[in-house]
Structure 1
Amino acid sequence: MEEKLLFELDSVYRDNMRIKGFSFGKGEKSVCIVGATRGNEVQQVYICSQLIKIFRQLEKQGKIKENKSIMVVPTANSYSMNIAKRFWSTDNTDINRMFPGYNLGETTQRIAAGVFENVNDYEYGIQFTSFYMQGSFIPHVRMMKTGFENVELAKDFGLPYVFRREARPYDTTTLNYNWQLWETKAFSVYTNATDSIDVASAREAINAVLSFLNKNEIIEYSCHQGYVSQFIEGHTLVNVKSNVSGIFIRYKDVNTRVTKGDTLAEIIDPHTGLPVDTIKSPVNGIVFFHADQPVIYSQAPLYRIIPTDDLY
C-alpha cells in the first residue's frame, strides 16, 4: 500500500486539510473508489476503510492482478466531518456540486479540482455517496442517463437493483457525471445509511465492489456473486408524499413488499398526539426508499415504491 497526498488546503486557525489516497497494486489505473464528499457521510467513509483493509491483505497475498492498480479516497471533506456538518463549513456549498472544479476559484471549487486531477484517468470509478433527502434505500447501483452509462456492466456488482435516471442540469457538476465525460466508467453505490453505520448494508456494498473487481479481472477474490440485478428506470417509481406536516411514524421499511391500500405511515399532530394523516400505498410494490427524519413537512416525499404486479 502506498499512501498519497492528493490535495492540501492551508488553514490559518486549524491544521491543514489533507485529502489522502491509498494506492494498491502497480501498473495501469484500473479503478478509483471515492467515499465521502459531504461531512455527514460516515457510512461511506466506513465502507472505504474496510475496503482499504481488505486490499492491503489482497496485495500481500499477490491477489491484485498484474499491471492493475486501485486507488481509494476515503473522504474529500474531513473539515466538515470533524464538526458533523453536511456541506462545506464556511459557505455551506456542496463539494459534489463543484466538479470538475477550478483551481483558481472558490474553496470548494479548488478542492474538487484537486481531487478530480488525481481521479479522472481511471478505467472505472466507484463513488459511495448519499441522497439529497434524508432516508434509507435498498442497496443499489445508480447511474445517470448521459449516453456513456453501461447498464450491463453495472450488473457486475450483483446488487439487487441497477437504477438509471435522467440527468438534471445540476448533475453536470457531480463527480459521477464528470467521470463519464472524461471516459471513466462511473458508478454510484448507495447503501441504506449515511450519518450512521449500518454494518449489514456496508458489508453488502463491500462484497459488491469486490465482486465487480473480480469479474473485471482486477483482483482474484472468491466471494458470493450477489443478485441477478433488476434494472429500473427512475421515472417508473411511484412517489408517496405527505398531505400535512407533523411527526412521521413509519410502519414500512425498505425492501418490504406492500399491497395497494397498506398503511405505510402515520402523521401525528405534535401537540395533541392524534393522527392527522394516514399514508396508504397507492400501488402493489416494493419499498425502494423511505424518509427517516422524525418531523416532516406537507408534500414532503416519504416513500418511493417500485411497482409490481404481485397480488399478495
Structure 2
Amino acid sequence: MREETIFDMTSPSRDSFRITGYRFGEGAKTLAIVGAMRGDEVQQQYICAQLVNRLALIEQHNGISEGKSILVIPSCNPFSMNVSSRFWAMDNTDINRMFPGYSAGETTQRIAAAVFETLTGFQYGIQLASYYVPGNFIPHVRMLKTGYEDVDTARLFGMRYVTVYKPRPFDTTLLNYNWQLWGTKAFSIYAGKTSRIDQTAGGETVDAILRMMSRTDIITTGSAGAAYESVVVDEAVFHHVKARRAGIFIRLVDVGDRVHPGQSLAHIIHPYNGQILNDIKATTEGTVFFAHNRPVVLQNALLFKLHIRD
C-alpha cells in the first residue's frame, strides 16, 4: 500500500486541505474507488476505509493480480466533514456537480479538476454516492444511461438491484457521467445510509466490491459473501409516493419491506396538536426501495420509491 496526496491546498486558518489516496498493486490503471464527495457521506467514507484495510491484507498475501493497480480515495471533502456541512463550507457548492473540473476556476472546480485528472484512464471506476433527497435505500448499483453504461459488469457486484436512469441536464457535471464519457466503466454504489454508519450494509457493500474485483480478475482471492442475481430496473418505473401535507414524519415501513394496497406507509403529524394530517397508504403492491428518513417533511416531498415489479 502506498499513500499519496492527490490534491493539496493551503488554508489561512487551519491545516492544509488534502485529498489522500491509497494505491495497491502495480501496472495498468485498473480500478479507482472514490468515497465521500460530500461532508455528510460518513457511510461512504467508512466503506472506503474498510476497503483500504481489506486491500492492504490482500496485497500482503499477493492477492492482487499481476500488472493491475487499484486506487482508493476515501474522501474528497474532509473540510466539509469536519464542520458537518454537506457541501463546500465556504460557498455551499457541490464538488460532485463540478466535473470534469476547471483548474483555474473556483475552489470546488479546482478540486474536481485535480481529482478527475488522477481518475482519468482507469478501466473501472466506483463511486460511493449519496442521493440528493435524504433517505435510506436498498443497497444497489446505479448507472447513468449515457450509451456507455455496462450492465453486465454491474451484475458482477452481486447486489440485489442494478438501476439505470436517463441523465438530466444537471447530471452532466457528475463524476459518473464524465467518467463514462472519458472511457471508464463507471458505477455508483448506494450503500443504504449516508450520514449514519450501517455496519451490516457497509459490510455487504465491501463484499460486493471485492466480489466484482474477483470476478473481473483484479484480485485473485475468491468471491466474498453471498451474492444476488441482480434485478435490473429502469428508475422510470419506480412508483413515487409524496407527502400531501407538511409536518412531523412518522415512518411505519422500512426499505426492503413488501407492502400491499391500502397499507399505511407513514403518518404526517400536526406539529402542534398531534393530529394525523396525512395517513399515507400504498396504492399498489411492491417493495420499498427508498424511504425518506428525516423527522420533518414539506408538502410534496418524496417519501418513498416502490418497486412494483418484483
- TM-score norm. by structure 1 comes to 0.98
Provide the residue aligned with 1:183 in structure 2: 183
Does residue 291 of structure 2 align to residue 300 of structure 1? no
| 1:1-312 equivalence runs, <5 A | 1-222=1-222, 223-308=224-309
Deviations, residues 117-169 of structure 1 (Å, cap 9, x unaligned): 10111000000010001100000000011000011110000000000000011
Measure how far apart 1:224 and its partner are. 2.6
Q: AA paired with 2:191?
A: T
Counterpart of 1:91 in 2: which secondary structure? coil
For residues 280 and 221 of structure 2, what CA distance do their matches in structure 1 show?
45
For residues 253 and 224 of structure 1, what CA distance do their matches in structure 2 show?
23
Q: Does structure 1 retain, via aligned residues, the 8 Å contact 2:79–2:89?
A: yes
- TM-score norm. by structure 2 comes to 0.99
For residues 52 and 153 of structure 2, what CA distance do their matches in structure 1 show?
23
Counterpart of 1:197 in 2: which secondary structure? coil
For residues 225 and 114 of structure 1, what CA distance do their matches in structure 2 show?
37
For residues 137 and 180 of structure 1, what CA distance do their matches in structure 2 show?
24
- For structure 2, the 5+ residue unaligned runs are none
Q: Does structure 2 retain, via aligned residues, the 8 Å contact 1:211–1:221?
A: no
Q: Does structure 1 retain, via aligned residues, the 8 Å contact 2:134–2:293?
A: yes
CA RMSD for the aligned pairs? 0.8
For residues 69 and 35 of structure 1, what CA distance do their matches in structure 2 show?
18
Q: AA paired with 2:152?
A: E
Q: Does structure 1 retain, via aligned residues, the 8 Å contact 2:249–2:295?
A: yes
Q: AA paired with 2:126?
A: I
Q: Does structure 2 retain, via aligned residues, the 8 Å contact 1:211–1:225?
A: no
For residues 195 and 208 of structure 2, what CA distance do their matches in structure 1 show?
21
Counterpart of 2:91 in 1: which secondary structure? coil
For residues 134 and 108 of structure 1, what CA distance do their matches in structure 2 show?
22
For residues 116 and 278 of structure 1, what CA distance do their matches in structure 2 show?
46
Deviations, residues 72-110 of structure 1 (Å, cap 9, x unaligned): 000000000000100000000000000000000000000
Measure how far apart 1:225 and its partner are. 4.7
For residues 240 and 199 of structure 1, what CA distance do their matches in structure 2 show?
28
Measure how far apart 1:190 and its partner are. 0.2
- For structure 1, the 5+ residue unaligned runs are none
| Structure 1 stretches of 4+ moved >3 Å | none
Q: Does structure 2 retain, via aligned residues, the 8 Å contact 1:125–1:185?
A: yes
Measure how far apart 1:274 and its partner are. 1.0
Measure how far apart 1:11 and its partner are. 1.0
How many residues align structurally? Answer: 309
Deviations, residues 261-299 of structure 1 (Å, cap 9, x unaligned): 111000100100111110001110000000000000111
Q: AA paired with 2:92?
A: N
Measure how far apart 1:13 and its partner are. 1.1
Deviations, residues 239-279 of structure 1 (Å, cap 9, x unaligned): 00010000000001000000111110001001001111100
Q: Does structure 1 retain, via aligned residues, the 8 Å contact 2:40–2:84?
A: yes
